[in-house]
Amino acid sequence: MDQSKGNYVSTKTCQVNDTLTIMSAPTIDKESFPGKVGLVMDVRLDRTNDAMKLRLNGTQVASMEPALGDDAAKWISRRIKIVAKVEYPGLAKSGFIYTVI
């Protein structure tokens, strides 16, 4: 992901048990990863008060949508907690598992 377009939530910028406050309604991202659609939103890292961007893939959205609701405009001010770090050995990458609090 092009970090020059914003400070993204990643395993380099955040840690397990951090909380994020959603600051904007998500927008659809079809460009960062060819063939994959995600949602990108502005968030605040509560621990440091830093403004960041969070990109969620379809699986992440599906797991959080029941708690957030289907009206994305109402997601603003809701909080998300990073509950675990997950490794993707085949991709040589790592990411997070989130929950709505």
| pLDDT tens, residue by residue, 25-46 | 999 988 877 778 889 999 999 9
State the average pLDDT over residues 50-70: 91
pLDDT of 2 higher than 60: no
pLDDT of 72 higher than 70: yes
Residue 76 confidence (pLDDT)? 96
Residue matched to tokens 């509560």 = 46
The average confidence (pLDDT) of the chain is: 89
Higher-confidence residue of 100 and 37: namely: 100
Give the CA-trace dihedral at 50, 33, 40, 47, to 10 degrees: -30
Give me the DSSP letters along 12-75.
TT--TT-EEEE-S--EEE-SSSTT--EEEEEEEETTTTEEEEEEE-HHHHHHHHHHH-S-GGGG
Nearest to 20 by CA among 73, 85, 83, 62: 83
